[in-house]
Chains A and B, each alone.
Chain A
Amino acid sequence: MENSRRKFLKTAGYSVLGVAAGSMLIGITPRSATTAEDSSGGPKYKSRDEALKAERWGLVIDTRKITSRINRSMQRACHREHNVPDFVRKLGSKQHEIKWIWPTPFKNAFIEQDLQYISDHLKRTEIPVLCNHCNHPPCVRVCPTQATFKRESDGLVLMDYHRCIGCRFCMAGCPYGARSFNYRDPREAIEEINPDFTLRTKGVVEKCNFCAERLARGESPACVEASNGALTYGDLEDASSDIRKLLAEYHAITRKAELGTLPSVFYII
């Protein structure tokens, strides 16, 4: 009796060890293959050949060329591309509003600037505001799950909608009001779903992603395409890029520069 029990335990013990060792081998082999190419140890994805790349993506907005028509078409293009619900139209209230890019008066976009005698054009025309894709993003600093993160390869501040727990700390952290929260199911207020981009669920935060999905396909950001030349994008680290040429020629400002967030969105006034 005693003997057979010991024998059983022994066999059971070896089997458990064997299974564990086997699954470890299975688990390790593909992973060690990836670490061979990528020292960071994470999974490595190959980007498409046509993908647009930059060391640090940036955007220059020429406020002199902005008109209210351009503002409208940029917002429409962006929100259609990204399945952004229009709760303002559906409910007639701004409470659950979600917006990635929107026009606002200069005095609201640049509250820290001297607003005593601004030019007639700036008094008349609203200017577009969006996520600044900061080089030192406070939203990333405060996120408790790294659901929002700065992509090291190109400096874009992006979101993992599947990891976000909906604590909204990033919304308190963002000094530009660039983030929106899904207070309810967004499907209620999306006219036409774009199957090429993810839908969000209720309870997560979202914001402008600089059209990372379009850049990956070799396309320009939707707002730039709809801007009639008022918006220029490119690599801020490349001195020969279009936006660096613009920045070299004109003086451009960023929003709330005193906070040290180093925005990647510049405004020519």
Chain B
Amino acid sequence: MLEKALSGSKTYYTLVLGLLVLIGIGFLFYLKQLDFGLGVTGMNRDVTWGFYIAQFTFLVGVAASAVMLVLPYYLHDHKEFGKMTVLGEFLAVSAVLMCLLFIIVDLGQPQRLLNVILYPTPQSMLFWDMIVLNGYLFLNIIIGWNVLSAEKEGVPPEKWLKPLIYLSIPFAVSIHTVTAFLYSGLPGRGFWLTAVLAPKFLASAFAAGPAFLILLSFILRKFTNFDVGKKPIQTLAMIVCYATIASLFLFFCEIFVTFYSQIPEHMDHKLYLFFGLDGKGALVPWMWTSLLMLISAAVLLVIPSGRKNEYVLGLACIFVFFGSWIDKGLGLISGGFIPNPLHEVNEYIPTVPEVLISLGVYAIGFLVLTILFKVVVGVKEEVRG
């Protein structure tokens, strides 16, 4: 099937070439980082996780969101998702791949990575994150590829795939839960020390991931003759709508607990993010943009005529995707480290090399996504004849 990725239109080759250039640039800067150390990034003694770990966290959500297609299709026999499910699984593959790469580029001593397996430490949440992320990656590769092969051959999928498909559902939930547990179990980090962190992660993931899938379907329809159809998109739009509202509700719960209890250690991080602290507030405009984007998206999507209009739906999906990206990809990590345990405010701003390395990782993910989607479109075209 992979041969379908080898021949394509001029646009396809241009896209692949562009991604390869971005990968090359990112790789060169990564070599620089390997040589000099993580000092090429903007991270400091207080903000010890930055852009890389934030992207990792955001993308775990995108990966987990495949379950919003898999669950209705396989557990509830929701047939209209049939054409899209494999897209969700392949999106998960590329997203998890980016997650793993973002962890690797964040390590100070990447050549010692296998120490995590040589000295397995179950009390560390990072150990479990490694297990569920790799498990989820392989599950989705195996399931997606075999289901698509069966479709190509015109036969029903192999029977042994069923248990793997069912297993992938709790795995999807677990990857984002364990990722939230990385943060929410740390004493003395008031911003993350909340039981709603994992549910909030899941809610925003189930909003941002399907929103991205809707946008991808629009792109596929425009550039190929593969159309998933109106109905599955409308169902996904409903999922995006309620997941966005759920994540805003959980955010509101956090705001209430923090500001009604008035415990300074919990308030200060949110004050820093939304109003600035000690005269420093690099993220203030971003956080308000994110909040406004998510609220307007929820309003646009909850109105039936808005959701049914594809332009409005597209705009709302862009809002949800970038609103969640700012929330998790910028605010979540910095916000937890500022102010620091001694209540000092030292800000973090990513550097150019750091952003270019991140772009390189995103380009690898999008290259894998492009190739996998190309195969899907090719197979669907062949089957249709």
CB distance from A58 to the nearest CB of B (A): 21
Q: Is the CB of B343 within 8 A of A111?
A: yes
Chain B: number of interface residues, binned into ranges: 35 or more
With a CB–CB cut-off of 8 A, which chain A residues contact B109?
164-166, 201, 203-204
**Is B123 located at the chain interface by the 8 A CB criterion?**
yes
A108 close to B343 (CB less than 8 A): yes
Report B-chain residues with C-beta under 8 Å of the C-beta of A141: 123-124
Chain B CB within 10 A, most for which of A147, A173, A180, A203:
A203
Q: Is the C-beta of B48 less than 8 angstroms from some C-beta in chain A? A: yes
Quote the shortest CB–CB distance from A97 to chain B (angstroms).
Answer: 5
| Residue with the greatest number of chain B CB neighbours at <10 A, chosen from A108, A145, A182 | A145
Q: How far is the CA of A261 from the CA of B187 in the complex (A)?
A: 9
- Chain A's closest residue to B115 (CB) is A145
* Proximity string of chain B (32-70) to chain A, C-beta cutoff 8 Å, 1 when within and 0 when not: 000011110101111011000000000000000000000
The answer on a CB contact under 8 Å between B115 and A163 is yes
Q: Closest CB of chain B to A201's CB: distance in Å?
A: 8
Interface membership of A41, Cβ < 8 A:
no
B126 and A167 form a contact (CB under 8 A) = yes
B188 touches A256 (CB 8 A): yes
Nearest Cβ on chain A to B350's Cβ, whole angstroms: 13
1/0 contact string of B143-159 vs chain A (CB within 8 Å): 00000000000000000
Q: Are A203 and B342 touching (Cβ within 8 A)? A: no
Q: Which of chain A's residues has its CB closest to B124's CB?
A: A144
Tell me the bound Cα distance from A173 to B346 in angstroms. 18
> Within the assembled complex, what's the spacing in Å between the Cα atoms of A159 and B372?
44
**Known contacts being A96-B45, A109-B342, A204-B109, is A163 close to B119, with CB within 8 Å?**
yes
B271 → chain A, closest Cβ, in Å? 15
A190 CA / B112 CA spacing, docked (Å): 25
Candidates B41, B49, B113; contact of A172 at CB < 8 Å? B49
Give the distance in Å from the alpha carbon of A172 to the alpha carbon of B137 in the complex: 27
B21 at the interface (CB under 8 A from A): no
Q: Any chain B CB within 8 A of the CB of A138? A: yes
A180 / chain B contacts, CB cutoff of 8 Å: 45
A143 to B343, CA, bound (A): 24
Contact A96 B115 (CB under 8 A): no
Q: Which residues of B contact A182 (CB under 8 A)?
A: 37, 108
A94 engages B45 (CB within 8 Å): yes
A52 vs chain B, min Cβ distance (A) = 29
Size class of the contact patch on chain A: 35 or more
Contact A111 B342 (CB under 8 A): yes
List residues of chain B with CB within 8 A of the CB of A147. 115
Interface residues of B in 1-56 (CB under 8 A from A): 36-39, 41, 43-46, 48-49
B127/A144 in contact, CB under 8 A: yes
Name A112's closest neighbour in chain B (CB-CB): B265
Q: How would you classify the secondary structure of chain A's contact residues: helix, strand, loop or mixed?
A: loop
Tell me whether B121 is interfacial, beta carbon within 8 Å: yes
Q: How far is the CA of A47 from the CA of B119 in the complex (A)?
A: 26
Q: Which residue of B lies closest to A163 (CB)?
A: B115
| Chain B residue at minimal CB-CB distance from A140 | B123
- Contact check: which of A112, A146, A184 meets B37 at CB < 8 Å? A184
Instruction: Contact check, A95 vs B45: say whether CB atoms are below 8 A apart.
Output: yes
* Docked complex Cα distance between A107 and B343 (Å): 9
Chain B residues lying within 8 Å of A109, measured Cβ to Cβ, are 342
B342 and A177 within 8 A (CB):
yes
Question: Contact between A184 and B107 (Cβ–Cβ < 8 Å)?
Answer: no
B167 within 8 A of A: no
Question: Is B112 touching A163 in the complex (CB atoms < 8 A)?
Answer: yes
Contact across chains for A203 and B37 when beta carbons are under 8 A apart: yes
CB of A202 within 8 A of CB of B108, answer yes
In the complex, chain A residues whose CB is within 8 Å of the CB of B255: none
Q: A108-B342, A144-B127, A172-B189 are in contact. Are A202 and B37 (CB under 8 A)?
A: yes
Most buried by A among B41, B182, B342: B342
Complex CA–CA separation, A94 to B44 (angstroms): 8
- Find out whether the CB atom of B119 lies under 8 angstroms from the CB atom of A145: yes
A212 within 8 A of B: no
Is the beta-carbon distance between A175 and B37 smaller than 8 angstroms? no
| Contact between B187 and A138, CB atoms less than 8 A apart | yes
Report, nearest first, the 3 A-B pairs whose CB atoms are least far apart: A166-B108, A175-B188, A203-B108
A202-B39, A202-B108, A261-B187 given; 17 more Cβ-contact pairs under 8 Å: A94-B45, A96-B39, A108-B343, A138-B186, A142-B124, A144-B124, A146-B121, A147-B115, A163-B115, A166-B38, A166-B108, A166-B109, A172-B186, A172-B336, A174-B341, A181-B108, A203-B108
Interface residues of B (CB under 8 A from A): 36-39, 41, 43-46, 48-49, 103, 106-110, 112-113, 115-116, 118-119, 121, 123-127, 130, 182-183, 185-189, 265, 336-337, 340-344, 346
